[in-house]
Amino acid sequence: EIVLTQSPGTLSLSPGERATLSCRASESVSINYLAWYQQKPGQAPRLLVYGASSRATGIPDRFIGGGSGTDFTLTISRLEPEDFAVYYCQQHSRSIGAFGQGTRLEIK
Amino acid sequence: EVQLVESGGGLVQPGGSLRLSCVAAGFTFSNHWMHWVRQAPGKGLVWVSRMNSDGSIISYAESVKGRFSISRDNAKNTLYLQMKSLTAEDTAVYYCAMSSVTSGTTNDYWGPGTLVTVSS
């Protein structure tokens, strides 16, 4: 079973700053099966990025996914007030899905 | 507009059973992989199960294998999750989600979730 570890656990930044979130897999993951989600309190998650770097429909271009192998990143180029939320990476490998534990992005 | 609405959650005693439903609208249900994902109160997301469009491919997380069963009725545009031998660790909001990619490995659209509480 592939385990995803996200870092940092909490990231404190100000609007306008750049955020870099990390997702590390315990073994290599196909980029086709790596996705990122955003979740705000009381809401269902929202798909941001799939295939490691493709933005989902309607997602602003400030959200940039990258990486390969065991190391993946989600970069938010310039934080907007609505971006403060919890972010999860997810992979599907050998037909089993798994999420990372999440990174909380909070306003500094 | 894609809509997913879960139902069937509630309070159940340890060792009990429950069946969740997810009614889909706004897309051709029979063409898409569907997933169940859960989230314990104040905790992170946990992938539970998925099923392909015709029900011939199914997978489960190890934590629910042998206790949970996913199924679908394409004529009724409905996804199900039959849960048995429930424990307190199964207490969570359960979401159904639709995948729009042919590999079935994304969760593009989500329902609002239904809360399952396992307690005596």
Residue A4 has a pLDDT of 97
Residue B89 has a pLDDT of 98
Residue B102 has a pLDDT of 85
Return all residues near A82 (Cβ < 8 A) that are at least 6 apart: none
Q: What's the average model confidence in pLDDT over B74-80? A: 98
Does B108 sit within 8 Å of A45, measured CB to CB? no
B residues 35-74 lying closer than 8 A (beta carbon) to A: 35, 37, 44-47, 50, 57, 59, 61-62
Q: What's the average model confidence in pLDDT over A46-56? A: 97
Here the tokens at position B40 are 């314990």
- Work out the minimum CA distance from A78 to partner chain B, whole angstroms: 24
Q: What's the average model confidence in pLDDT over B71-78? A: 98
Give A13's pLDDT tier (boundaries 50, 70, 90).
very high
Residue B103 has a pLDDT of 86
Residue A93 has a pLDDT of 81
Give B101's pLDDT tier (boundaries 50, 70, 90).
confident
Nearest CB to A99 within list B45, B104, B108: B45
pLDDT tens column, A57-95: 999 999 999 999 999 999 999 999 999 999 999 998 878
Cβ–Cβ < 8 Å for A2, A91: yes
What is the average pLDDT value for chain B, to the nearest integer? 97
In this predicted structure, the answer to whether residue A1 has a pLDDT above a threshold of 90 is: no
What is the H or E stretch that residue A94 is in?
Answer: none
Residue A96 has a pLDDT of 87
Q: For B99, name the nearest residue in chain A, comparing CA atoms only.
A: A47
Q: Is the dihedral of CA B72, B108, B52, B20 positive or negative?
A: negative
- Work out the minimum CA distance from A7 to partner chain B, whole angstroms: 14
| 3-state DSSP of chain B | CCEEEEECCEEECCCCCEEEEEEEECCCHHHCCEEEEEECCCCCEEEEEEECCCCCCEEECCCCCCCEEEEEECCCCEEEEEECCCCHHHCEEEEEEECCCCCCCCCCEECCCEEEEECC
- Work out the minimum CA distance from A4 to partner chain B, whole angstroms: 12
Nearest CB to B108 within list A47, A88, A96: A47
pLDDT tens column, B14-73: 999 999 999 999 999 999 999 999 999 999 999 999 999 999 999 999 999 999 999 999
Residue A22 has a pLDDT of 98
Q: For A90, name the nearest residue in chain B, comparing CA atoms only.
A: B106
